[in-house]
Structure 1
Amino acid sequence: MESPTTDAPELDSPGDRIGPPSPRPVWHLTPERNWMNDPNGLVHVDGVFHAFFQYNPGGAGWGNMSWGHAVSEDLLTWRELDVAIPFTDNEQVYSGSAVIDHGNTSGLGDGVTDPVVAIYTAATTDRLQAQALAVSRDRGMTWERYAGNPVLDRGSREFRDPKVFRYSGGDGPARWIMVAVEAVAHEVLIYSSENLRDWTWESKFDVPMPLDELWECPDLISLPLDGEERWVMLLSTHSHDPANTQGSRMRWFLGDFDGHRFVPAPGEQWRLLDLGRDFYAGVTFADAPDGRRLMLGWMSNWQYAREVPTEPFRGAMSLPRELSLRRADARAGSGGIDLVQTPVVPEGLEWRPVDVAAHEPAEVEVGVTGVLSVEADLAGGRTLALELCSGDEVLATVTLDGASRELVFDRPAPGGEGVHETFPSVRRMPLGGDGRLASVQIFLDAHLVEIFACDGAAVMSHQAFVGADGWRVRVAGDASAQVMVGATDTE
């Protein structure tokens, strides 16, 4: 959650535009209208996924921060509900998390149903940030602020984004763990609690980043690997420095956690989670079925988020991604351990094949929403280029380069005025594989483009503002390929 102490203005106006309006995504969570950023309070309750999110009830620009609310049974079809926790005259409701308080450890329940408790950052008019609670006694549908707020106050202007989970390992009884950040000081702070109301300092994690950026939206999760429990720290970072051409990004760090301290794995360092321009603030669901680690992220970038040409809404979430750990493919030359992201895909996709012969260009009509599954023969350093077009305009080019074994995403400046200087960009990621075949999935959903390679070990997310007629893909190069196009009847 970006702090108002940065240069971010509070806006109720639509903001600048960088082109004509793009259609609304089908598979991604968007608000019916107005501004959305970070996912908050992701929790699964009684078969329903609840996604809360940073929301401006008053307009399509950042400001009046409240928790918007949507629910889904399949993570792809969402129903927006009333604002869950609205801003007040003296408090904006910044990012945080939610948990089902099994056994009512907080004492905030009604004695009948386990309460759902939200832990959020209260940003007050004195420009301080502290952690506060809200409670739902009807399984996440309606919310009431806790009368004893704030529950954790450091007297700081940059202390925010609490992610809370239940921990039952190590020494002592089960307890709640909170990770939050001192954004400017570059610290992830770890606290513990028996009741969600009284918090005890445990430790901090402050392994430095390559660049001087704000730290935001931490998450600490356990994942199995080779029959053992390992821990991953997720973190989002952002810079307002014009020389920083990435702007917003997410990183991850492998380590171990004993209920008190997160300790890096030997030789480990921060690694990028998504190699594109438009993935930020990703956090995981509490109480997801079967212990799955399901993540949503905000698909935008603080450098130009206020300028995107969507209306009457501005902001979208990513496809849900299931996280897992896997020994890295030695053939890809990476070594070590990969964090794998597997997208949750729509059921009932109807596939049609498109065979692409070397040196024979082909065109593929996708529509506003669809999936490209590409398998290319890159033997001998061959290449395959997929131009993602809106009408006759090339919005981005995806090149599978057999010589470098890389996927290259090239996004030029779109038409229209007010384009941020960093919007045009080129990003690269490994293709992995055996040196010959390369397999890639490309999800196109209105202006949202998500690309998965190396069986989910390499991922990039971008925005590219397609027109109302949808996507047309031109395929060319000296590599032969088969392109499968998947679509549903939901467009």
Structure 2
Amino acid sequence: MDITVSEKYLWFPVDMSGEMVWVSVYDGDQKIQEMKVSLGKEHIDFYGVWKATEYLGKELRIVSEKGEEYLDGVDIRQEKTRPQNDYPYRPRLHYTPAYGWVNDPNGLVYVDGVYHMFHQYNPYSTEWQNMSWGHATSTDLMHWEEQEVASTPDEYGTMYSGCAMVDEKNTAGYGKDALLFFYTAAGGMNEWSKEAGNLFTQKLMWSTDGAKTIHKRDEELVPWIVGENRDPKVFWHAESNAYVMIMYLEENDFLILRSADLLHWEQTQKMMVPGMWECPLLIEVPVEGTDKKEWVFWSADGYYQIGSFDGYTFQTKTERKMAYFSRRAYAAQNFVNVGERVLLVPWVRLDNANGWYRGAMGIPQEICLKDGADGLQLAFSMAEELHALRGSWEVLPQNETIFIAGEAREVVLSWNVGMTGTELLEIGETTIRVDFTHGELWVDTDRKHELDGELRGVFDPAKPLDMTVVIDQEMLDILADGGRLCGTIETEENVLGKTLKLRGDAAPGAAKWCVLK
């Protein structure tokens, strides 16, 4: 199939019920794009979009692994804009792209008054594939605007996870304050890179115009080491005067590397940490009520260890701990260039794809370390920017059924010491049970993640208890016990069209709620 490009975007029709086929786009003899997609003919669920601006006026050739017959009857539209999605039950507060699959956050960075959130993205399906870097921006950390796809697969591989940093000293040589993006080129995960014989390597992109234009560096930073080694996270370690990269190797193995110039890297420690894998973070986290910080090593599921780090090696002080009581949140990454704040955003693993998008980004949360039952533990709080979204607080009465009325809500409950019995917060088809007799918080739902066991957290009933619940379409965010308990729960997609009820024999001393918008 030949197409002369006359508009900014090519819209590829997607039929999610069809067979996934490799489709390539050529400019002459040069391959310029490749995707695995089920192209629709009679039936179209949505359009996957490719920006073709640099090829305006050129004739491109589109081929499929199934031959020309597969493309017969496929109408690839040319349009000036990206398709919009007005699906009514889209989350209000959690970022989702218009269409397609989203997973791990990548390259979270604040620069020139704008928060940038890159993420793993498949524009051509609501299933994982074609890993690209999607991009969204915000000026208030809460309302996000989808931008152009930042980077797509090439001959080196698909675009796996990575991070961003501001090169304040022009260390890498692309300009003072250039944005640098470290990522994994997942060689072998697309046909293009298989044909070239490429493996998983760590590579670099850069931008000098605030991420409007992103360039790829051909040379690799870290060559293939083993398996699907991936997920580089880079930061400046002032005490040892070097840049540090932590990355995942395979199984439960991780690697720490150092660099003086951001381009050449030397290994300093290989770590084997049972039960932890992929998407590592190594971050300093403040200890509540002190001027101290502790180093935290974190992996994708929310498992973490507290320890010390000298710029070369990480030494653990604790056993592995778990940050979440549910398994929806995954692969959290911290924003950089935000001063002393430790702001995390996870991917929320949602099953629902009725609106032809799947997955969401979590609401940004700040973390600190607090005393817990077994020493220091991570505690979460909603980023303070959420406060600006609040309407007027209203009392949440006991034993009354209240219509949520289509708007995101925040519920705040608090109990004094000496409580007994059980209190229930019913939100649509989900029930949160607070059992003061046993010191347990339970969530009852039919929409558990496949990795969820019991949706249960424990607290000390001899102490006061607080709980915050943010209600958004498709999900609840629950924080309790000063943020020591943290979990995200999938709900029915139109939970904002349902009711809420607080009942039981352990009524909170204070109960209030407000609209968030």
Tell me the TM-score normalized by structure 1.
0.81
Do the aligned partners of 1:377 and 1:480 also contact (CA within 8 Å) in 2? no
CA contact 2:335–2:344 (8 Å) conserved in 1: yes
Is 2:310 the partner of 1:255? no
Return the letter of the residue paired with 2:442: V
CA deviation after TM superposition for structure 1 residue 188, in Å: 1.5
Q: What letter matches 1:235 in structure 2?
A: S
The structure whose Rg is larger is 2
- Conserved? CA contact 2:327–2:452, under 8 Å: no
Equivalents in 2 of 1:207, 1:468: separation in Å? Answer: 39
* Inter-partner Cα distance in structure 1 for 2:328 and 2:492: 13
CA distance in 2, matches of 1:425, 1:365: 30
Between the aligned partners of 1:432 and 1:355, the Cα distance in structure 2 is 25
**1:231 — aligned with what?**
295
Please point out which of 451, 455, 459 is paired with 1:427: 455
Contact 2:297–2:305 (8 Å) recurs in 1: yes
Structure 1 residues 448 and 316, CA gap change in structure 2 (3 angstroms):
same
Matched, 1:383 2:422: yes
Matched, 1:454 2:481: yes
Query: What is the Cα deviation at residue 11 of structure 1?
Result: 6.8
**Structure 1 residue runs without a partner (length 5+):** 1-7, 16-20, 237-248, 329-333, 415-419
Offset of residue 467 of structure 1: 2.0
Residue of structure 1 equivalent to 2:395 = 353
CA apart distance, 1:287: 0.9
What SS is found at the alignment partner of 1:169? Answer: helix
Gaps of 5+ in 2: 1-19, 22-34, 39-44, 47-86, 188-192
The answer to whether the 8 Å contact 2:163/2:233 transfers is: yes
- Report Cα offsets for 1:216-240 as digits up to 9, x if no partner: 100000123332331001101xxxx
The answer to whether residue 232 in structure 2 is matched with residue 204 in structure 1 is no
CA drift at 1:480? 2.0
1:157 equivalent in structure 2: 227
Larger relative contact order (CA 8 Å, sep ≥ 6):
1
Distance 1:372 1:380, change over 3 A: closer
SS in 1 for 2:482: helix
Residue pair 2:447, 2:490 contacting (<8 A) in 1 also: no
Query: What residue in structure 2 maps to residue 339 of structure 1?
Result: 378
Write the mapping of 1:41-440 to structure 2, written as runs, cut at 5 A. Answer: 41-88=107-154, 90-109=156-175, 113-124=176-187, 125-126=193-194, 128-148=199-219, 150-170=220-240, 174-184=241-251, 186-209=252-275, 215-225=277-287, 226-236=290-300, 249-265=301-317, 268-288=318-338, 290-300=339-349, 307-328=351-372, 334-344=373-383, 345-349=386-390, 350-356=392-398, 361-366=399-404, 367-376=406-415, 379=418, 381-389=420-428, 394=429, 396-413=430-447, 422=450, 426-432=454-460, 434-435=462-463, 437-440=464-467
| Counterpart AA for 2:370 | R
Give the deviation of 1:146 after TM superposition.
0.6
Relative to structure 1, the CA distance from residue 348 to residue 56 in structure 2 (aligned partners, 3 Å threshold; closer, same or farther) is closer
Distance 2:456 2:258 in 1: 40
Q: Name the % identity.
A: 29
Residue correspondences, number = 424
- Alpha-carbon displacement from aligned partner over 1:277-334 (angstroms, at most 9, x marks no partner): 201000101111x32111100011xxxx5x4234131110111011112233xxxxx0
Deviation at residue 449 of structure 1 after TM alignment: 0.9
2: distance between equivalents of 1:65 and 1:408?
Answer: 36
Q: 2:422 is matched by which residue type in structure 1?
A: T
Alignment-derived partner of residue 4 in structure 1: none
Q: CA RMSD in A?
A: 2.4
Return the alpha-carbon distance in structure 1 between the equivalents of residues 395 and 506 of structure 2. Answer: 17
How far residue 142 of structure 1 moved from its aligned partner, in angstroms, is 1.8
Asked if structure 1 preserves the Cα contact closer than 8 Å seen for 2:156 and 2:185, the reply is: no
Greater displacement, 379-388 / 445-454: 379-388
Offset of residue 189 of structure 1: 0.4
How far apart, in 2, do the equivalents of 1:476 and 1:464 lie?
20
Kindly indicate whether the alpha-carbon contact (under 8 Å) linking 2:412 and 2:467 is maintained by their aligned counterparts in 1: yes
